[in-house]
Amino acid sequence: MVTILLAAVKKTATAQAGGDGAARVSTAPIWLGVLGAVTLSGAFAAVLTFSVSVLSSQGQEAVGGLLSVFAVGLVTAMIFWMRRTAATLSSHLRGEVARAAAIGTGALTITAFLSVGREGLETTLFLWTAARASGQTVAPLVGAAIGIAAAVLLCWLLYRRAVHLNVGVFFNRTAIALIVIAAGVLAYGLGDLQDANFLPGHAWIAFDLTAHIDPTSWWASIITGITELSPKMTVLQVTAYLAYLVVVIPAFVNAGRAAKAAASPAAASRVAASTVAAGAEAASPAGPVPNPAPAADPDPAPALARASAAASPAPGPSRWERLAGGRPWAVAGVLVAVPALAAGLTIVALPAAAGNAADAVTVSQTECAPEFTAAESGNQTFTVANTSGLAGEVNLDNAAGAVVGEIETLGPGTSAPLSADLGAGSYVFKCFMGSQAAIASQTVQVTAKTVTNGPAPVAVKPVTLAELTPPNKLYQAYAAAQLKDLAGQVATIKADLGRKDITQAKTDWLAAQLDWERVGASYDSFGDLGLAVDGLPTGFVEGVNDPGFTGLHRLEYGLWHGQSAAVLLSVTNVLAKNVATVEKNLTSDDLAGDPTQLPLRVHEIIEDALRDHLSGVDDEGGNAAYAQTWADTQVDRAVLGYESALINDRDPGLVATAKGELSTLDTALLATRTSSGQWQSLTAVSLGQRQHVDAAIGALLETLAVVPDLLEVPPTH
């Protein structure tokens, strides 16, 4: 826009000088207007940053989420607006400049301010939300600065006619990338609203790749920076992301096709162009404009309408336009000072966050929060900056070693808030960066305030490996018994197939599948062996026909798709061998031998049921979604029981709540069976039955979501 405005000023000045090219062009009014627009954008950014910083963490999540969604709305509207107007943007701005030049240079300043200001506000909001999505501040701003510098260079080349650019074609080819980025910002914003409890389902995880992907790695950071996607996303985020792309991309493409289909014949276009040119010549104070540009509208109707308007006498300048006409510096002063003053007054008027002092501490390779020398009781937020060049975890512990606040993953070169409720006592920061030995800050003594209100601060006592080992051994024994039952059931299926009794094999397959569910190998926690027993065809080149697709679901597919007993017998033989291997290796760290995985299992078992069973993802024809989920509640109840003592020490009442919700889910699941006790499919049950199951599993997931944090073993390096 700045380039078009500068070119329009030069062209208008040349026309007013008689077209001899000798006119001296002053671009100062344009640059003054741009300065005002940049000041407005900066003021908006300052208000966003400082106003959000005084909110609670939940309030920051809510505001960030709402602004992200709003930014996506603005960008989407801008995309379709540019789709309609890109071809006529230059002619429109030239007309505005010509009119402003006739009034005075001050009017040119206002024209530049209005033209650039809106885009500046949209850009500011989009960059602000993108920075929040990345969890960083410096890196996104550096990237934005590089992008803006490249844009400035391109525009300078355009102005100097060193390069030529078709704005419409350029925008149409880059808009798809912008749509993809906007979809990511939308998903991130909805995630913020879920974290703020404005939207439900923050525990309904669609996928979690953090165990396999380091979010701080360079390539993951690039993907996240470009798409705003993260290795862990909820069902709502994924659904919104895909829905946005499915709706907006076709609509954008169709809008372009509609514009081309509505294009007029060449003759009508020439008539419209001639009429517009004639109107421009008549309206120009200096007479005909040299070499008038042809109209670029694909549709003659808008061009004819503007031609008619151009032929009519243009409205005279308003009183304010005449007042500003000859005073560009005064106008610029107002445009710069008013936004800056308004932002300053707004920031000063913001209420201070009670008990939420923002203390900055740093983490390096040799020091952990050396700035931590004093603290007050009550709620306190520390901004932790990582200058170590390593990713790691930062905890704030009390004298008993209990964690009162933590940042689980702090990437290199990033900052993150750590909030904690501090009571009377001593506190110390502990930093676990990369593979280095743990570093601790000095111990700070906090004295209680004279008047205290509200509940005592909550601290979570770290669990030790020794404490988790006995419950994990109980789980191993439970899983071994289920595997023994599974092995016997697989042998029964082999006998069924030997008799070519497919009907009985289907019945026995369900029993075997439920035995496997009761093992508790959720979220691929048994690795390749678990996938061999219960994997899906997803990812295999040949799908269900791929030799790598083995196990219970391969058998399910064959039983319900008419494959012969002989073929299925070979599948069952492979299954029997894989089950035996799992039995043999059950206590290895690759399966169930790592006690630190037990706290994750109690949540992931139910999360796995929602992700795979109740979504129908793993149904290969057996329609066993509700039956498998019911088996999952049984193993989940067992695992919860093994961990109950440790959980109750840290959150009394949570186990009782979870057990009650497990019973509610069981009741809802059993209600999906027929009167004869047969399990029904996802599509056969009534809407009310489905909703009862969904509500029950959602509530249970919300409750169990805190268990992995409660029973987290802190780093020991």
| 392-398/415-422 β-pairing | unpaired
pLDDT at 404: 86
pLDDT at 402: 81
Average pLDDT, integer, range 626-638: 96
* pLDDT for 566 beyond 50: yes
Average pLDDT, integer, range 246-256: 86
Average pLDDT, integer, range 299-315: 40
Confidence of residue 95 (pLDDT cuts 50, 70, 90): low
Burial 382-391 (b: 16+ CB within 10 A, else e): bebbbebebb
Confidence of residue 555 (pLDDT cuts 50, 70, 90): very high
* pLDDT for 598 beyond 50: yes
The residue among 392, 388, 356 whose CA lies nearest residue 370 is 388
pLDDT at 306: 41
Q: Is 5 helix (H, G, I), strand (E, B) or coil?
A: helix
Domain parsing of the chain, residue ranges: 2-9+29-263+328-342, 358-446, 465-710
Say which residue, 306 or 216, is predicted with more confidence: 216
Average pLDDT, integer, range 150-176: 75
pLDDT at 222: 73
pLDDT at 78: 76
Say which residue, 671 or 322, is predicted with more confidence: 671
Average pLDDT, integer, range 77-103: 64
Angstrom distance (rounded) from CA 334 to CA 348: 21
* pLDDT for 469 beyond 90: yes
Strand-pair partners of 421: 379
* pLDDT for 90 beyond 70: no
- pLDDT above 90 covers what percent of the chain? 34
Say which residue, 370 or 461, is predicted with more confidence: 370
Q: Does domain 358-446 have CATH number 2.60.40.420?
A: yes
What are the tens digits of pLDDT across the range 431-441?
Answer: 988 778 889 99
Same fold, 358-446 and 465-710: no
Say which residue, 476 or 297, is predicted with more confidence: 476
* pLDDT for 658 beyond 50: yes
The residue among 437, 701, 710 whose CA lies nearest residue 598 is 710
pLDDT at 635: 96
Average pLDDT, integer, range 158-171: 68
- Average pLDDT of the residues of the chain: 78
Confidence of residue 276 (pLDDT cuts 50, 70, 90): very low
Q: From residue 401, how far is each of 41, 164, 361, 463, 526 by CA, in Å?
A: 46, 66, 20, 10, 33
284-293, 469-478, 499-508, 626-635: which has the minimum mean pLDDT? 284-293
399-403, 608-612, 663-667: which has the minimum mean pLDDT? 399-403
pLDDT at 277: 37
pLDDT at 360: 86
25-34, 205-214, 353-362, 706-715: which has the minimum mean pLDDT? 353-362
Residues in the chain: 717
pLDDT at 312: 43
pLDDT at 300: 37
CATH code of the domain occupying 465-710: 1.20.1420.20
Average pLDDT, integer, range 395-401: 86
37-51, 298-312, 672-686: which has the minimum mean pLDDT? 298-312
pLDDT at 50: 74
* pLDDT for 451 beyond 50: no
The total of other beta-carbon atoms located within 10 Å of residue 541's CB is 8
Confidence of residue 99 (pLDDT cuts 50, 70, 90): low
185-199, 527-541, 600-614: which has the minimum mean pLDDT? 185-199
* CB 378, CB 355: distance < 8 Å: yes
Say which residue, 95 or 158, is predicted with more confidence: 158
* pLDDT for 131 beyond 90: no
Q: From residue 469, how far is each of 32, 592, 662 by CA, in Å?
A: 70, 11, 25
